[in-house]
Chain A
Amino acid sequence: MSEQTTPDPQATGHDSAPGPAPTQVPGGTSSEAVASDVALDTAGGQMPPSAVPAATQLPSRDKDGEGSVLHQIFTGNAMVSFLSVLLAIVLGGILMAVTNPKVAVTAGYFFAQPGDLLTEVIRPYTALVQGSIFNWAGADLAAQLYPITETLTVATPLICAGLGVALAFRAGLFNIGAQGQIIFGALFGAYVGFAWHLPIGLHLLVVILAGLVGGAVWGGVVGLLKARTGAHEVIVTIMLNYIANFLLLFLLTTPAFQRKGSTNPISPFLDSTALFPELLGPQFRLHAGFLVAIAATAFVWWLLNRSTIGFEFRAVGANPSAARTAGINVARSTILVMAIAGALAGLAGVAQVSGTEKYLSGGVAASIGFDAITVALLGRSTPWGTFFAGLLFGAFRAGGVAMQAQTQTPIDIVLVIQSLIVLFIAAPPLVRAIFGLNPRKKKTTTSGTAGARTGGVKSGAAA
């Protein structure tokens, strides 16, 4: 029935505080019909699907705000995520093999020395691991450990922003706006970092706070618009990404933000008091921002699983209608979750300006905001899942550089692998089919006699 195929209008309606008159019928059109026409005859026809036993209808019902497919993808099972990564790596290997001229050469004498071909295929991955986890060819311990510190450094903003996307999603909101929120966090944080001069310790705290506020403002606006006007968060966040990006580019040409004596659109360096301390000394880029990312992950876990606020978020995300009936203020939750999600993304911006980059530039957010969506997706929108997904993507990014340098494999192949991961996660049945994990189809003939009979009777039935 139409009610079941159109969850969205209903969900949006219930999200907004002064939304349309709530009725018993899920589905905008039907509810209008009920309200406007309470005639005895036709009203009877507007019985909700709930009139049937709930147990039988659950599979076809969906109560999240975004539609069941998206929900399934974002909260699918861990095995699919793991196998998706595995598959993507295998496919990436094949892709590297067919595009690598050396492979063609070694394939020519494959039967004489099959090892050569395998070596050529495995070489880029070896370099990837060497560049992201542990470099056993390094001259000293520092050189050997350098790759893992790079991975953690790159992963820091990915984790923070990924948490922002994941948290919003748990509350039923698809936050595409991490990019804009990162930019705002970086903008606020960087300004406080270079324009204000505060004592050591306090300065960094204020920078972090400013970044959180910046992201929260940019995310909160989305929540506010959604709660008050019903504006769809996907569209709003995409547009706000553009606005944030061009606002940043503009600001970097103004005297307040542009570095003195520079014609480039970059800010002054942040005060040293505003920077995250280096964790392992100056030869590594790894900074205390990573510890903040760990803390943020733990915080989001607590928020979602142990706090009343998170309970509200999850209830609103899973069934806004039931949440409202239980007295939860859906509008407030929407605004609050977007503000917190924005703050987390803002933290990623701070990690960039205060940790990795040390100044503000137009490319401060790179593509972190979009990778964050993938990270949250791979992490199935759970805090620790997002954390480890962030580490994996950090490793890909860090290792990709080494891979390109060592084996001339283009770093773009890493992007291909990341994209493949997303593709496979989005198609769980495909992954399960490849690994033979699909539940047995209903039409497997169970007995020989039944099978034999099929043939005999089919002609009769078909005729």
Chain B
Amino acid sequence: MTLGWDYPLPCRRQRAEADPYTHRLVGVLKLELKGITKRFGSLVANDHIDLVVEPGQVHCLLGENGAGKSTLMNVLYGLYDPTEGEILVDGKPVVFKDPGEAMAAGIGMVHQHFMLIPVFSVAENVALGNETTKAAGLLNLEATREKIRRISDQYGFDVDPDAMVEDLPVGVQQRVEIIKALVRDAEVLILDEPTAVLTPQETDELLEIIRQLKRDGKSIVFISHKLREVKAISDTITVIRRGKVVGQADPSASPTELASAMVGRSVSLTLDKAPANTGEVTFKVRNLTVTDHNGQHVVDDLSFDIAKGQVLAIAGVQGNGQTELTEAILGVQPHVAGSITLGGEELLGKSVKHVLGAGVGFVPEDRTLDGLVGTFTISENMILDLYDKAPFASGVGMKPGVIAENAARKVEEFDVRTPSVSAAVGTLSGGNQQKVVLARELSRPLRLFIASQPTRGLDVGSIEFVHKRVIAERDHGTPVMIVSTELDEVLQLADRIAVLYRGRLVGIVPAGTSRDVLGLMMAGVPAAEAEANASAHASGATTPATVSEPVGHEGESHV
């Protein structure tokens, strides 16, 4: 074991300094993009984009979905050839024919969808494409394991080189991707929407890792449309809209300013909503218990009410029973006990069709999986649950004319951006897809509206739209249930907040409850205790043994 192995990164830096070919000082790599243009046929994905990533900086690319951020990074990473323009590394023009060359030049990329082999161990994944061999051509994983441990220790990654990737949580898989880049001496790390798949906690952990990488002299290109994170981590923000750089922003700019720059018009991040005009309680859940096929209670003895004209938001970290709760109401969960009544009618044990027919509007949390048929046209998706009802059908015959007309009207009303109602819904952007789902679910008279993660993966403009429609439905006098893991969304929409933890109801609190209290409740601390803890924090008193770090606490405090 040489000294070089003990301090791999500084050692490598010296090596690179002495490198007569690249003449680049690793660790202070400066990356410039000049006039990058990328056309796909007639579509201009990137239009003369200039970008300078200074060494040791976190440079954020902010833009809505489809603004051309990912295309730009794919150009940089050698996946696309730019139509025009050039890339400069330390002032020298380079052309990357493939990602291998980009990597060799010190650029690493963590894709939105991880490029890992699930049935390989962490070490095998990291070594892949860069394998070292022992005598007789045998794979030498020990060297890789050693590197992983070094990097893991240095940055506090806590990654076991021998763990199977498929067994790891998404957040840890992402760290494996980062390790992959670091092992290949990346000096510039491109993170493409890294937080899209993370929970608030994992997001905080990732942001901390980014800060450490920055301290170590790495540059980070952080691609996101989430303002909170962008503000929390960036040194420089470049806003991209419709393939063009529309300007630089300062991290101290307000979220509204950033959002407006990103969307190209003024947007309001705070939702204007009148106080709830609450009517009678029509939706009642009593002692609801959902058992999974392992006999576990994934929803455990849940009871709550929603009144007409009221929004109940179900908060909680992903996987604490929210999905099972909504699916139990819809009628697709097989082992359910308790009672769910809507206007006095028992819904438990009824078919999905019956529940929908009783006036339940349902926006599933995964629109591409549960909400839409991607290969179907917009017209067909608009009637996915009404296809056999008048006026869309008479008997078993369907009426294409009425269906198309309905779609055209809904597309207009919900501002779905599409060339035609006969376009396959899979070709739409996420925001427009969600509008199709909303348009369908809100198009009939509802007695209960349930929306799971209604704005997941949507851009600012679409989020604003969706939130307005949800509140409009509430003001229409419908009981509304929102399930969201985004605390922001919960706080904006809710009239009451129910927090789930391990399938149990931690408590139902009023809308004005602070983030700190909600964060503690999301970790399972009962409401009263959470209040006490949070106020103790606020008054600066020493608190004995806080149960858990409040979820999203750090991220929130930056705004």
Contacts and interface: CB of A to CB of B under 8 A. Distances in A.
Given A1-B173, A44-B199, A444-B81, A325 B95 contact: no
A50 B199 contact: no
B112 interface: yes
A263 to B, nearest CB: 50
A45 B366 CA distance: 16
Number of chain A interface residues as a range: 35 or more
B171 A52 contact: no
A463 B66 CA distance: 36
Given A52-B196, A53-B65, A442-B79, A45 B296 contact: no
A139 interface: no
Given A47-B170, A55-B428, A319-B373, A327 B79 contact: no
A318 interface: yes
B317 to A, nearest CB: 6
Interface in B162-180: 166, 168-173
A453 B96 CA distance: 11
B501 interface: yes
Contacts of A367: none
Contacts of A29: 166
Interface stretch (A15-23, A220-228, A275-283, A373-381): A15-23
A358 to B, nearest CB: 36
Interface string B308-348: 00000000011111011001001011110000000000000
B169 A41 contact: yes
A56 interface: yes
B296 A35 contact: yes
Number of chain B interface residues as a range: 35 or more
Interface string B169-203: 11111000000000000000000010011110110
B550 interface: no
B199 A47 contact: yes
Nearest to B368: A54
A38 B320 contact: yes
B293 A453 contact: no
Nearest to B551: A40
Interface string B354-390: 0111000010111111111111100010001101100
A23 B322 CA distance: 10
A30 to B, nearest CB: 9
Interface stretch (B54-62, B134-142, B247-255, B392-400): B392-400
A77 interface: no
B52 interface: no
A407 interface: no
Contacts of B112: 52, 56
A453 B372 contact: no
Contact of B327 (A22, A63, A319, A446): A22
Given A38-B502, A453-B93, A463-B22, A53 B457 contact: yes
B202 A326 contact: no
A57 interface: yes
B429 A53 contact: yes
Q: Is chain B's interface secondary structure helix, strand, loop, or mixed overall? A: loop
A262 interface: no
Contact of B66 (A26, A55, A442, A460): A55
Interface stretch (B97-105, B257-265, B281-289, B406-414): B97-105
Given A55-B430, A318-B375, A442-B81, A50 B456 contact: yes
Interface string B392-436: 010011101000000000000000000000000011111001000
Interface stretch (B113-121, B207-215, B470-478): B113-121
A23 B81 CA distance: 40
Contacts of A314: 373, 376
B535 interface: no
Contacts of A311: 380, 387-388, 398
A55 B433 contact: yes
A225 to B, nearest CB: 19
B317 A43 contact: yes
A47 B365 CA distance: 11
Contacts of B427: 58
Q: Is chain A's interface secondary structure helix, strand, loop, or mixed overall? A: helix
A453 to B, nearest CB: 6
B38 to A, nearest CB: 10
A81 interface: no
B294 interface: yes
B4 to A, nearest CB: 20
A32 B294 contact: yes
B433 A54 contact: yes
A99 B23 CA distance: 64
Contact of A1 (B98, B113, B320, B324): B113
Given A45-B170, A45-B171, A309 B332 contact: no
B94 A321 contact: no
B374 A463 contact: no
A365 B425 CA distance: 41
Given A315-B373, A324-B332, A460 B21 contact: yes
A322 B384 contact: yes
A123 B426 CA distance: 49
A21 B325 CA distance: 12
Nearest to B167: A33
Given A50-B366, A53-B457, A36 B292 contact: yes
Interface in A1-51: 1-2, 4-5, 18-24, 26, 29, 32, 34-36, 38-51
B304 interface: no
Given A322-B369, A446-B83, A53 B170 contact: no
A169 to B, nearest CB: 13
B555 interface: no
Contacts of B94: 457, 460-461
B298 interface: yes
B318 A50 contact: no
Nearest to B356: A327
A447 to B, nearest CB: 8
B444 interface: no
Contacts of A319: 369, 372-375
A57 B368 contact: yes
Contacts of B334: 18-19, 21
B385 A454 contact: no
A43 B318 contact: yes
B369 A52 contact: no
B432 to A, nearest CB: 8
Contacts of A38: 296, 298, 319-321, 502-503
A456 to B, nearest CB: 9
B294 A36 contact: yes
Nearest to A63: B374
Contact of B196 (A34, A41, A53, A463): A53
Interface in A313-352: 314-315, 318-319, 321-329
A44 B319 contact: yes
B92 interface: yes
Interface string B518-534: 00000110000000000
A69 interface: no
Nearest to A302: B397
A35 B113 contact: no
A352 B197 CA distance: 57
Contact of B116 (A1, A23, A45, A48): A1
Contact of B332 (A22, A50, A443, A447): A22
Interface string A420-447: 0000000000000000000000111111
14 contacts: A32-B293, A45-B202, A46-B170, A47-B319, A48-B365, A50-B365, A54-B433, A55-B428, A306-B397, A318-B373, A325-B362, A442-B80, A450-B81, A461-B105
Given A314-B373, A324-B370, 12 more contacts: A35-B324, A38-B321, A47-B318, A47-B319, A52-B457, A306-B400, A318-B373, A318-B376, A321-B370, A326-B385, A457-B92, A457-B95
For the complex of A and B, list the 5 residue pairs with the smallest distance between their C-beta atoms, beginning with the closest.
A45-B169, A43-B319, A463-B21, A44-B199, A327-B353
